[in-house]
Structure 1
Amino acid sequence: MISAKFRVQLPEGIWVADTSRAFPDATFRLLSGLRIGEKAVELGEVIADDPQAIIDRPQSSIDGWELLEATDERALTKYETTDIELYEFVESSALTVEFPVVVRDGWYEFDLTGTRDDLERFGDALDEAGQPYELQSIVGTTDPESLLTDRQRELLDAALQAGYFEVPRDCTLAELAETLGVDKSTASTVLRTGEAKLVAWFLTGPKQN
């Protein structure tokens, strides 16, 4: 298995691309997202000197917008968007998006894990689409533990110890998040990302003779 970090330039016309270029010092983080037909439901945060100014910027492709948390430098929102290009593009490469996806000044930054052939097909798709990109890092591994960040391993271990993966569950996501001192959405995102990496490694990793 190979874990790679990509940086891909976003085309104009996508709301997060245009907004991030209008506020180049801000950081946008897509914490989770799910495509449903011609829309996507996303949980995202913006970190900036004045996040309210970004929130107030009109977005024609955003529906069902809800502010969940806000401070002077951070805003957490849930919304629906008709901008589904990210999902369409990654689906065409047979890879899944690993959250969080970071956007700065018109560029996506995200990690992908797969076989060498998977990643080569992804690169070929970017070249064919004429999409500027940078391969920032690439790490080959056959060790499932090295696929996880320390945070992912910490939450997965805590979830296992608490019985979160039991059927039926011995604890809820909210209870697990409270025990770890994080919000529910963060716990969900970290767990899902870690689980996705381990499942991908198990299903497509090198077979032992």
Structure 2
Amino acid sequence: MGLIAEFRMASEQLPLVDVAEAVSEATVEFESVQGRPSGAPTFIVRIVGADADPIEAAFADADSVTDYSLLVADGTTRRYRCRPAGDPPTDVELLADNGSIPDRVLVTPNGWEERRWFANREEFDQFRTFCRANDYGLRLDRLVETDERSDGRETDPFGNGDRSRPREMTDAQREALVTAHEMGYFDTPRTATMADVADELGVSSASLSERLRRAQTHLVAEFRRSTGIKPRTN
């Protein structure tokens, strides 16, 4: 029995929260976390919807991250590499031994909004213990249990109830996905940028990025349910 949890971690001490606060008009999201044999991990971060100068200033003034560098810029989307500053969190070995897999981590001025796969309830409780040890306020928004039949039983934040209905893709998300595909945003090489598709839809690049991300997450979740693919446990 696996779990998919959507939750918010509230703390000013979380890495990149000060960056997100400085460029509050932008979307700040983790793309990957690369572990290292020793020392702090390396973060790959995507920022959409802010100009280069305020982003660079936000990184330069940030206390939560260090050693930042620009990897690539594509229209209004910029990707950076950085590392967390300061001492490692308390009981970090609990997180290192945890078999959960982050699916999406959005950084806000108040903390992180995250979607994460857990192999079982024990690993979820272990992750929650880590958050409490570091004074990360954890607010659970959604918890879905997945079983071998690949269906989902959606529960309330306390694990009760059985609503048995996955979250649907919205009309706006579907329109964004189809328009981006038709305009060549997913082609290799791309024939349209994020800004091109956003202009076509009459929305900001940050809004479009959020809609595409949620639409793609929905498609992946549906694919995993239909094919029986479970969350990784190692």
TM-score by length of 1: 0.61
Aligned equivalents of 1:10, 1:107: Cα separation in 2: 5
Q: Which amino acid aligns with 1:20?
A: A
Give the aligned partner of residue 116 of structure 1.
121
Aligned match of 2:143: 138
Percent identity, aligned pairs only, is: 12
What residue identity is the alignment partner of 1:118? E
Q: Secondary structure at the match of 1:52?
A: helix
Letter of the 2:142 counterpart: S
Q: Deviations over 1:85-105 (max 9, x none)?
A: 59x477256133414311111
Contact residue 144 and residue 152 of structure 2 kept, 8 A: no
Aligned match of 1:27? 27
Match of 1:79 in 2: 81
**C-alpha distance in 2, partners of 1:42/1:98?**
13
Deviation of the 1:46 alpha carbon? 1.1
Q: Contact 1:39 / 1:80 at 8 angstroms: preserved in 2?
A: no
Q: How many Å separate the matches in 1 of 2:89 and 2:52?
A: 25
Tell me how many residue pairs correspond in the alignment: 170
Q: How far apart in 2 are the matches of 1:139 and 1:81?
A: 32
Rounded to whole Å, the distance in 2 between the matches of 1:6 and 1:182 is 33
Q: Identify unmatched segments of 5+ residues in structure 1.
A: 151-175, 184-189, 205-209
Across the aligned residues of Structure 1 and Structure 2, the Cα RMSD in angstroms comes to 4.3
How much does 1:53 deviate?
0.9
- Which of the pair is proportionally richer in helix? 1
2:171 aligned residue: none
Structure 1 counterpart of 2:212: none
Relative distance call for 1:41 and 1:123 in structure 2 (3 A) is: closer
Look up the match of 1:102.
106
Deviation at 1:179, TM superposition (A): 8.8
Indicate the larger mover: 136-145 or 89-98: 89-98
- Residues 38/82 of structure 1: CA separation in 2 closer, same or farther (3 Å cut): farther
Cα distance in 1 for residues equivalent to 2:167 and 2:32: 17
Matched residue type, 1:178: T
The answer on 1:178 being equivalent to 2:182 is: no
Larger displacement relative to structure 2 (47-56 or 31-40): 47-56
1:17 corresponds to 2:27: no
After TM superposition, give the deviation of residue 25 of structure 1 in Å. 3.2
Could you list the runs of 5+ residues in structure 2 that have no partner in the other structure? 154-165, 169-185, 194-216
After TM superposition, give the deviation of residue 19 of structure 1 in Å: 1.6
The equivalent residue for 1:154 is none
Instruction: Give the Cα–Cα distance (whole angstroms) in 2 for the partners of residues 138 and 28 of structure 1.
Output: 24
**Structure-1 separation of matches of 2:191 and 2:94:** 33
For residue 42 of structure 1, report the CA deviation from its aligned partner.
2.6
Residue 62 of structure 1 corresponds to which residue in structure 2?
66
Shift, 1:4, TM fit: 0.7
